Structure 1
């Protein structure tokens, strides 16, 4: 049962990470679509919007990487056996 719980936990983390990566790009492209339909701007607006969306996605990925590394470092420090702590 514990293995099944870990599988569902990892699946939810992966799906949440995927949604977090795609959301900034979709929001920026939606904003570009609104700008072109409301104000009559050209299709060139999609190019900077796409790159700004990718920048937001890379920011999410970098923050996820930093958080993961911090957790791993903390787990490594907790697993060290000191003089008074025998496990």
Structure 2
């Protein structure tokens, strides 16, 4: 029982870490691309604003996809746990 709880806790920490990276990396990549545009191609500085907005949008999209995958995994676990459970539409 103790090992199962520990592995579940480690899995939850890994999921939080993955969510953190999913939020941070698209923003950093967009800002780095803006830095390259400004430094190498002499683009105007307002390019950073566009890069920030695109990075936030990409972060939100990625976080939503991670959330959907977690919900999908939990639904699979719930179905596997108790297949004989009686639901509202299942009367027998």
Q: Same fold (TM over 0.5)?
A: yes
TM-score (norm 1): 0.80
Residue 44 of structure 1 aligns with which residue?
46
Shift of residue 66, structure 1, vs aligned partner = 1.5
Unaligned 5+ runs, structure 2: 86-92
The structure whose residues are more often helix, as a share, is 1
SS at match of 2:18: helix
Residue 20 of structure 1 corresponds to 22
* In 2, Cα distance between equivalents of 1:46 and 1:19: 21
The runs of 4+ residues in structure 1 deviating greater than 4 Å are none
| Separation (CA, whole Å) in 1 of partners of 2:18 and 2:54 | 21
